[in-house]
Amino acid sequence: MDFLSIRPYIPFSLLVILCMLLTFILPSADAKSFHYSNPLPFSYETYGNSHKEIRDPVIIHDGDAYYLVFTMWPFSGREENRIDLPDQGGSPGIGLYKSKDLMNWTFDRWLVKSSDLPENCPYKNRFWAPEIHKFGNKYYLIFTADNWIKKEYNPAGSWGSAGYAFVGIANKITGPYKHITYIDGGACDTTLFQDTDGKTYAFIPRYNIDVQQIDLSGLDHGVVHLIGKPKTIVQPNNSDIGLKASPSYLEGPWAEKINGEYYLFFAEIYNDPKYPEMMGYRTGVAYADNPLGPWKKDPCGYVFYGGHLGVFTGPDGRKWFSYRIEKDNAARGLLAIDPFDIDSRGNVQAEKPTLGPQTIHL
């Protein structure tokens, strides 16, 4: 006899109570799942126009929210025919965006805004590859910038081909970021990493990727020092892992310590038509037992289709990539996220970039 057949013999009041108990006892599917869909429904405004394309996106999980910084349109360098445009034809600055669920994003505030800066500010233009890192109870904003108005306003007294590295400090992720200081010896896409022993390192792409320890203890007084000489740790040539295809150069490094091991992600440009299966903007990774190395590249040559990404802790406690879509032409340039895993050998295992609705069981 099924439930409906015995229904006439059960008092209505008891049915109500049973339904309430079942609702309370049985968890909903959504209570143990996280849903997202790539590309994320993200857009932003610069100079009165709406844009969806982003570059170099970095998501940070802090408190009960996620925060996003990225290179904003227009993605240009210094061009004489654009100098009379707002902000000398470059990006308006570094905007901070916030989300509780990684799907719905709102503008929070400007962390750095070109139009608010004096004419002679050395970081008045460009604003490429911003990142936020939390070390201890402090937040560090690092980015690439320069001044396009006069040569002498720049740290080196001349135009930077790809800008200069700057870093500032704050007590909260939302800032204000103070004492923004030039990193003498840094380069475009310089990233920071602090180990559990408190030592901090700068990973600097210069065709290869170099590493140096960096002293940020004097940043409150506008003083930053790279320590020692740069050490080259990863090179584009893939002969060290037995591959004929090699990227033309490396950029966009990002360092993580996972399960006691060190992981250095980096962007690689494969453009040799002799190896069509490797063409495109990819993410490589190298492994080490120490930030100074030696580092060994993953034998696959790349682990993800898409480059210059960030790594953050996702809703399931795993590590996730924040990246711009490269693989799908229709969605190219749009914001996306996906998780990755570490296998029993300590190697990164990442699925192909996803498109459309995804469900992660928590």
Q: Give 10-residue mean pLDDT values along the chain (362 residues).
A: 41 46 41 92 96 98 98 96 96 98 98 98 98 98 98 94 96 98 97 97 97 97 96 97 96 97 97 93 97 97 94 97 95 98 96 96 92
In a domain, 172, yes or no: yes
Q: How many CA atoms lie within 13 A of 4 on its CB side?
A: 0
d(CA 131, CA 51) in angstroms, rounded, equals 20
Three-state DSSP class for residue 277: helix
User: Residue 178: in which H helix or E strand, if any?
Assistant: strand 178-182
User: Residue 70: in which H helix or E strand, if any?
Assistant: strand 65-71
Q: What is the pLDDT of residue 11?
A: 54
d(CA 276, CA 278) in angstroms, rounded, equals 5
Q: What is the pLDDT of residue 9?
A: 46
Three-state DSSP class for residue 200: strand
Domain CATH number, residue 58: 2.115.10.20
Tokens 């506008």 -> residue? 222
Number of domains making up the chain = 1
Residues with Cβ within 8 Å of 170's Cβ and at least 6 positions away in sequence, in order, are 138, 139, 140, 141, 176, 177, 178
In a domain, 115, yes or no: yes
Three-state DSSP class for residue 45: strand
Please say whether the dihedral angle defined by the alpha carbons of residues 237, 200, 164 and 327, taken in this order, is positive or negative: positive
Q: Residue 252: which domain range?
A: 34-361
Contact status, residue 129 vs residue 120, Cβ threshold 8 Å: no
Tokens 């940020």 -> residue? 216
Contact status, residue 125 vs residue 118, Cβ threshold 8 Å: no
Contact status, residue 338 vs residue 349, Cβ threshold 8 Å: no
d(CA 356, CA 230) in angstroms, rounded, equals 43
In a domain, 9, yes or no: no
In a domain, 309, yes or no: yes
In a domain, 17, yes or no: no
Contacts of 34-37 spanning 24+ positions with Cβ under 8 A = 34/314, 34/315, 34/316, 34/359, 34/360, 34/362, 35/357, 35/358, 35/359, 35/360, 36/102, 36/103, 36/337, 36/357, 36/358, 36/360, 37/103, 37/356, 37/357, 37/358
If you ran DSSP here, which 8-state letter would residue 74 be given? P
Three-state DSSP class for residue 248: coil
In a domain, 6, yes or no: no
> In the structure encoding, which two tokens stand for residue 157, read together?
């007294």
d(CA 246, CA 243) in angstroms, rounded, equals 7
User: Residue 145: in which H helix or E strand, if any?
Assistant: strand 138-146
Report strand pairing: 250-258 vs 261-270: antiparallel
In a domain, 252, yes or no: yes
Contact status, residue 267 vs residue 281, Cβ threshold 8 Å: yes
The reply to whether the predicted model has a pTM over 0.75 is: yes
From the CB of residue 138, how many other CB atoms can be counted at a distance below 10 Å? 14
In a domain, 15, yes or no: no
If you ran DSSP here, which 8-state letter would residue 300 be given? T
Q: What is the pLDDT of residue 15?
A: 42
Residues with Cβ within 8 Å of 267's Cβ and at least 6 positions away in sequence, in order, are 250, 251, 252, 281, 282, 283, 284, 307, 308, 309
Q: What is the pLDDT of residue 2?
A: 40
User: Residue 272: in which H helix or E strand, if any?
Assistant: none
Cα distance from N-terminal residue to C-terminal residue, the chain: 37
Residues with Cβ within 8 Å of 325's Cβ and at least 6 positions away in sequence, in order, are 38, 39, 306, 331, 332, 333, 334, 335, 336, 353, 355
Tokens 């590590």 -> residue? 319
